[in-house]
Each structure stands twice: as C-alpha cells, then as structure tokens.
Chain A
C-alpha cells in the first residue's frame, strides 16, 4: 500500500465513521466539522512516518480518527509485513538453491510452499 493509498483509506474510514456516528446520534455536526478541520492538515505530511505520528497524536482526542486509523493503519501494516515477507521469500528462493545443494538447507520448493501457507 502506497502512502497515497494509505491516506485515501484513512479518509474513507474517517468519513464512514463520521457518517455512521452522525446517523446514530453519537456525533454532533459541529464535532464532525471540527474533526475534519483537525484531520485535513495532516494530509499534507511529507512522508508516511510523519503522517502516522500526526495521526496518532490527534487520535487521542477524536474517536472517529482513532477508529479510522486503527482500520487503515492496521491494513497498511499488514500489507507492509506481507510485502516484506514476500520479498524475503523471493530473495531466499533465489539464493538457497545453490546453497541447499552444498549445505543441505531447505529446498526452494519447501520454502515456496511455506511462504504460501
């Protein structure tokens, strides 16, 4: 998930929370407006880490932003970990066949299966 996608997901989840809470009378209109006003400036953050830090800060005061960030950042982290694991697996698949024949390590097929599981 790119930084842009992360921002879009947070925006989407935040709007979802705002609409849901407005309909269920858990959020007043003025509070929704204030939430949007607080959230919008952090979209201009230069990179993901600054964005996530700012998001965490304002999440303490605004439950809707907290809910949105939990969903969006959770998905972002999960995808990031999956991507990292995938790249590691690919790297090992490239490196290990030559090593496994020498050192008796795991065959590449077993690695691929384990990675898929």
Chain B
C-alpha cells in the first residue's frame, strides 16, 4: 500500500477537504518508480486530465467530479465528440489550404508589388508573372468563396442590422467573381480578382466586428480574430473605394443594372 501510507486520514472531512486535497496535490507530482506499466498516453494529455479532475474536485465537489469523470467530460479533446462550436473552430482556424493560400498570396503580393519590382521584371516574363498571379488569386478566391458559402448561411440566421449589407456584399463578390472568370485580359482579370479578394476580406471584417463592436456570437465562440482573415500587407480600403474602383474597371456598370439597389448600397457603406 505505497500510496495510502502517505495519505492523511480525513477526520474533519467537511472542514478540511480542500486544504488537505491541495496539500496532497504537491505530492502527486512525485514520480513513483518500479510500478506496473500502463498503456502509453501523451503525457501532456494525462497531466491535463488529472489537473482538470483536481480542479473540478476543488470547485465542484468529489461526487460531481466522479460523475463528470464517468460521463467522459475529462476525455482528451481528440477523443471527445466535437460539438458544433468546436467543429466550426477546427474548420475555420486550422483549415490548411486557406492558411497556405494566405501565405502564398502574401508572398505573391510581395513579388508582384508594382512599386518595387516592375522595373526589374523583364517584359517577356511579365505575362507569365501575371498569369501565375491570376492563378494564385483564383485559388484564394475559391477558398474564400467556400468559406463565404458557410458564412452566408450564418448571415441569414443572424438578426443584425448589418445582415442585409453583408449579404449584398457577398452577392457582389459572387457576381464579380463570375465577371472575372469571363474576363480575357489577364491584367484586368488580376485587378478584378484583387478587388474581389479585398471585398471578401472586408466582408469577413464586417462579419467579425459588427457595428456594436461585439463579435458575432458563433464567431466569438470559434475564437477567430478578424485580423487573421484580412490578408497581410493588403491595403485597407473602404467599401466606397472598392465600389469606385469596380465602376472604373467596369465590373459594376451602374446601380440599376446590377441587382444592388440604393438602400443596399447605403447599408453596405454602413457595414464598412
């Protein structure tokens, strides 16, 4: 009975439970040599679990802790059945392709920064450079569009004054993407895609920081910082600038031709 000999006998159980329990917690960290081997688990997970049990025992009581343990509430996170929130968090924060695309787009942007590199790149390679830039941006747009599809469902369920503006902006991005697909001129296409990416970034920003400076509930639970979504190094443009640029580029012909209407534009500007 190696362990029980060190255990102080609880006489005044109700009074001194927590004190003796916390005093024993220091002893628990001591390793015991020469004991039977149990199946290997990651040490951090085991320590986390035991800490959780200890914390719960101190705060909630012994029986409650045992109930939690029996119900699997202290299960390691990888074995735990993930709920909607956790699942969303995993989807949005640790999805590989989006992160890779963001990095690649950043490097592409540095590479094709017109102020620094325009003179250095030969004209023969310029077409290839634009083509690769278009490919990168297209990949980025596809990834962001997939995310937007999920966000669209979320937007529709939200009761926010920004909902209409965000939905309009989202539809605009879709229309612009369709136009960019049909565009034959590579440079124009690249510009349109760049604007599209900026719009999507603005959309995300509007999503994550609503007008009352509170995060959307679901997004707040997922722990996403909007700054992670906004591309690094991209200029912060207001929606007005983007719309003006789109009109210059011909992406949006006029307000009446597109399905964005006056009130929606106003609400879109509010979202910005």
User: Which residues of A pack against B, CB within 8 Å?
Assistant: 1, 5, 8-9, 11-20, 22-29, 31-33, 36-37, 39-40, 43, 67, 70-72, 74-75, 78-79
Alpha-carbon distance between A79 and B12 when the two chains are bound, in angstroms? 11
User: How many whole Å from A14's CB to the nearest CB in chain B?
Assistant: 7
Q: A17-B3, A36-B69, A39-B66 are in contact. Are A24 and B35 (CB under 8 A)?
A: yes
The answer, among B9, B11, B17, for a CB contact under 8 Å with A8, is B17
A-B contact pairs, 7 of them (CB 8 A): A11-B62, A16-B3, A17-B3, A22-B53, A26-B36, A33-B69, A36-B67
CB < 8 Å A-B pair total: 113
- Cα–Cα, bound, A13→B13 (Å): 11
B49 within 8 A of partner (CB)? yes
Residues of chain B with a CB closer than 8 A to A20's CB: 3, 27-28
Chain B residue contacts of A27, Cβ below 8 A: 38
Q: How far is the CB of B124 from chain A (nearest CB, A)?
A: 63
A8 neighbours in B (Cβ, 8 Å): 10, 13-14, 17, 62
How many residues does chain B have at the interface if contact means C-beta atoms less than 8 Å apart? 44
Q: Is A37 within 8 A of B70, CB to CB?
A: yes
Q: Establish whether residues A9 and B10, one from each chain, have CB atoms under 8 Å apart when the complex forms.
A: yes
Q: Is the interface of A mostly helix, strand, loop or mixed?
A: helix
The answer to whether the Cβ of B86 comes within 8 Å of any Cβ in the partner chain is no
Which residues of chain B are near A11, meaning CB under 8 Å?
62-63, 66
The answer to whether A23 and B29 touch (CB under 8 A), given A8-B17, A28-B38, A28-B41, is: yes
B41 touches A29 (CB 8 A): yes
Decide if the interface of chain B is mainly helix, strand, loop or mixed.
Answer: helix
A28–B53 CB distance below 8 A: no
Partner of A29, one of B4, B29, B46, B65: B46
Contact assessment for A19 and B53 in the assembled complex, using a CB-CB cutoff below 8 Å: yes
User: Does B72 have its Cβ within 8 Å of any Cβ on chain A?
Assistant: yes
Interface residues of B (CB under 8 A from A): 1, 3-4, 7, 9-11, 13-14, 17, 21, 24-25, 27-29, 31-32, 35-39, 41, 43, 45-47, 49-50, 53-54, 57, 62-63, 65-67, 69-70, 72, 74-76
Q: A28-B41, A36-B69, A70-B1 are in contact. Are A23 and B50 (CB under 8 A)?
A: yes
The 6 closest A-B pairs by CB, nearest first: A11-B62, A36-B70, A36-B69, A22-B50, A37-B70, A75-B9
Nearest-neighbor residue (CB-CB) of A79 within chain B: B11
The answer on a CB contact under 8 Å between B1 and A18 is no
Query: Which of B27, B29, B65 has the most chain A CB atoms inside 10 A of its CB?
Result: B65
- Whether the pair A29, B76 counts as a contact (CB closer than 8 A) is yes
Residues of B close to A74: CB separation below 8 A = 9
Give the complex CA separation of A95 and B21 in angstroms. Answer: 44
Tell whether, in the assembled complex, residue B4 and residue A67 are in contact, meaning their CB atoms are under 8 Å apart. Answer: yes
B103 to chain A, nearest CB (A): 36
Question: Smallest CB–CB gap between A85 and chain B, Å?
Answer: 16
- The answer, among B3, B11, B27, B46, for a CB contact under 8 Å with A67, is B3
